[in-house]
Amino acid sequence: MTDAPAAKDGSLPLAGKVALVTGGSRGLGRSMVLAFADAGADVVVTSRRLASCQAVADEVEAKGRRALAVACHIGHWDEIEGLVEQAYDAFGRVDVLVNNAGMSPLYPDLASVSEDLWDKVIGVNLKGPFRLTALVGTRMAEGPYGGSIINVSSTGSLRPAPDMLPYDAAKAGLNTITEGFAKAFGPSVRVNCIMAGPFLTDIAEGSWGPSAREHGMPNHALRRAGEPDEIVGAALYFATDASSYTSGAILRVDGGIP
């Protein structure tokens, strides 16, 4: 990963800021956590498994930044308020929120999609981000600092696939609430969305990952899937003042989706 860009005054662009990243223990989330730390931010790392969060938090602290590991199932509303309280108790503020946590269980056919599977997918990918954004965004808007909220969507929201339909539907909803929250919390809070294409994360290895590594993505403009660190540029753009006049936007980072 390249060094974070310096701000106009020569300082790190997120110095003195606090970022909270869901799904922060691996994949795109881990890359963003470490990039924010390199840019000067203290970081709250959250996912379902505390040990995994703590491992990434240790990496952040090794960079000289503060970190808090919190176990939270983002699909459970009763856990989200506790996550927010722990973050504010530890740091007194959240300046950057990244709704990155996601899940897309496999199923043999659409008739096999159970109500439980549907509810879990909607819960993690849409319901949880809605609630977390409502809580943190309200505090950001009422506080003296404002903030930036970044949703991580999917190109499946534009090109839905039968074998990922609940996930793609949830991500389409995430696109929608991005613009709605931008209007609700402006002008001091910016809300934007990274619409991610295929990335070679450990989650993807169980489905199309091995094929993508071996054969590339021949129908995409760049002919390949992305590496997790390639999400960092877009995340830093939205997290910092580089995007000071950008809100309600959806940025495709997908290698040129066909």
What is the rounded distance in angstroms from the CA atom of residue 130 to the CA atom of residue 140? 15
Q: How many residues does the chain have?
A: 258
Do residues 103 and 201 touch, judged by C-beta distance below 8 A?
A: no
Angle at Cα 243 formed by Cα 240 and Cα 248, nearest 5°?
115
What is the rounded distance in angstroms from the CA atom of residue 105 to the CA atom of residue 75? 14
What is the rounded distance in angstroms from the CA atom of residue 149 to the CA atom of residue 141? 11
Do residues 14 and 48 touch, judged by C-beta distance below 8 A?
A: no
**Total Cβ atoms within 10 A of residue 11:** 12
H/E stretch holding 44 reads strand 42-47
Angle at Cα 226 formed by Cα 223 and Cα 227, nearest 5°?
140
Backbone angles phi, psi at 200, to 5 degrees: -85, 70
Known catalytic residue: 88? Answer: no
Catalytic residue of the set 145, 167, 237, 245: 167
Which residues does the annotation mark as catalytic? 167
